[in-house]
Amino acid sequence: MTHSPALQKVPPTVVSLADHEQHARQQLDDNAWAYFSGGAADEITLRANRSAWDALPLWPRVLRPLAGGHTRVSLLGRTLAHPILLAPIAFQRMAHPDGELATAYAAAALGAGLVLSTQASLPLEPIAQAVLSDPGRGPLWFQLYLQHDRGFTQALVQRAEAAGYEALVLTVDAPTSGIRDRERRAQFRLPPGIGPVNLAGLQPAPAPQLQPGQSALFDGLLHQAPTWDDIAWLRSITRLPVLLKGVLHPADATQAVAAGAAGVIVSNHGGRTLDTAPPTAVALPRVAQAVAGAVPVLVDGGIRRGTDVLKAMALGASAVLVGRPAVHGLAHAGAAGVAHVLRLLRDELEVAMALTGCKTLADAPAALSAD
């Protein structure tokens, strides 16, 4: 399968995120589809991320006073029009020639936060320049992988600061890549001309000198893996708040707060790292209880409906992130497709709030309770 040109507008028959996904499958070649849609191993966690949200019933309430309701939330000192952000996804030019730039424009137009990936296929500076002047935009954050070269990492952080990014999102759940069978079957390769342009100039890590019987992973790659000590180092070199992405265990959430994290993002990397890890809907209330309001708790993974957003807020989330749906919209119809995905989620959220008697998202916990 080869790429088809993206549409310039969204057809009126596209009415859900699932519709965008179906159209994206038709647009993308097998190589890109394996990368964007695949999970780890048997994809048990990938599927569970969806089914866990579906398993939570919302309780309708009737005759509630709803006039003047809204979806606004506060996050890191800002008031946002709604609690939906776009998660970091690498190499978006595989989905559309405009890549991350189209995604950024759509996010700004819909008031959604944007988290740009370290492995973006466009430079971080023009993305920031494109949206920072928009008064209605959401937060602009930069997702960071710590590199083996601390000097390079520090320079990357300084670039993000200088460009106007407002927070760093440090991904902590992938000291090594997951076993991604779907990518391996597709023999995934980055297309020519697409790569992690913000990592240009980074020299490869020195090859470990392994002895017979040693593990290339434990005796090699993982010597470069970040630890809690690196959180302190990162905070020491930046004025930006640092959120940790990839926290599932309550004890890790507690330690993140103690380490000075400005927020935690409950995430299993979209089911792409450890298969059979818990779905985020299961981990979220445990993490929220452990954090106990000390810092914001965000969540991603399997969110495909506005009802899912409401459920996440009811379980203690301060905001949610969506990843694959944005890529589906991007592949389908460029910036217009991403904007439509965001509009659908916000519209569905408002309807779900109204039908559960939630005037604001502070009322969300009652939507999951019959007490």
Q: Is residue 268 part of a domain?
A: yes
Q: What is the pLDDT of residue 6?
A: 63
101 in a structural domain: yes
96 marked as binding residue:
no
Asked if residue 100 is part of any domain, the answer here is yes
Contacts of 63-70 with CB under 8 Å at 24 or more apart are: 64/357, 64/359, 65/359, 66/353, 66/354, 66/357, 66/359, 68/359, 69/350, 69/353, 69/354, 69/358, 69/359, 69/360, 70/360
The whole-number pLDDT of residue 7 equals 67
Per residue of the chain (371 residues), what is the pLDDT tens digit?
344 566 678 999 999 999 999 999 999 999 999 999 999 999 999 999 999 999 999 999 999 999 999 999 999 999 999 999 999 999 999 999 999 999 999 999 999 999 999 999 999 999 999 999 999 999 999 999 999 999 999 999 999 999 999 999 999 998 888 999 999 999 999 999 999 999 999 998 887 888 888 887 787 777 778 899 999 999 999 999 999 999 999 999 999 999 999 999 999 999 999 999 999 999 999 999 999 999 999 999 999 999 999 999 999 999 999 999 999 999 999 999 999 999 999 999 999 999 999 999 999 999 999 99
**Distance from C-alpha of 57 to C-alpha of 98, rounded to nearest angstrom:** 39
Q: Please tell me whether 105 is known to bind a ligand.
A: no
pLDDT confidence of residue 2: 41
Strand, helix or coil for residue 57: coil
359 is in an annotated binding site: no
What is the secondary structure of 244-296 as a DSSP string?
EEEE-SHHHHHHHHHTT-SEEEE--GGGTSSTTPPPHHHHHHHHHHHHTTSS-
Q: Is residue 77 part of a domain?
A: yes
Q: Which CATH number belongs to the domain containing residue 77 in this structure?
A: 3.20.20.70
Q: Establish whether 272 is an annotated binding residue.
A: yes
The two beta strands, 263-266 and 73-75, are unpaired
Residue 74, marked binder: no
Domain count, the chain: 1
Q: What is the dihedral of CA 333, 338, 344, 345, to 10 degrees?
A: 150
pLDDT at 5: 61
Active site residues: 269
Q: What is the pTM of this model?
A: 0.96
Q: What is the pLDDT of residue 217?
A: 78
- 150 known ligand binder: no
The parent domain of residue 357 ranges over 17-59+72-197+230-368
d(CA 364, CA 22): 31
Round to whole Å and give the CA distance between 323 and 84.
11
Please report, to the nearest 10 degrees, the dihedral formed by the alpha carbons of residues 310, 316, 322, 325 taken in order: -40
Q: For 135-203, give the DSSP string.
A: TT---EEEEE---S-HHHHHHHHHHHHHHT--EEEEE-S-SS----HHHHHHT--PPTT-S-GGGTTPP
What is the CB neighbour count within 10 angstroms for residue 188?
16
pLDDT at 162: 99
Give the pLDDT score at 168.
99
Q: Please give the single-letter amino acid code of residue 349.
A: L
> 35 labelled as ligand-binding?
yes
- 9 annotated among ligand-binding-site residues: no
Asked if residue 12 belongs to a domain, the reply is: no
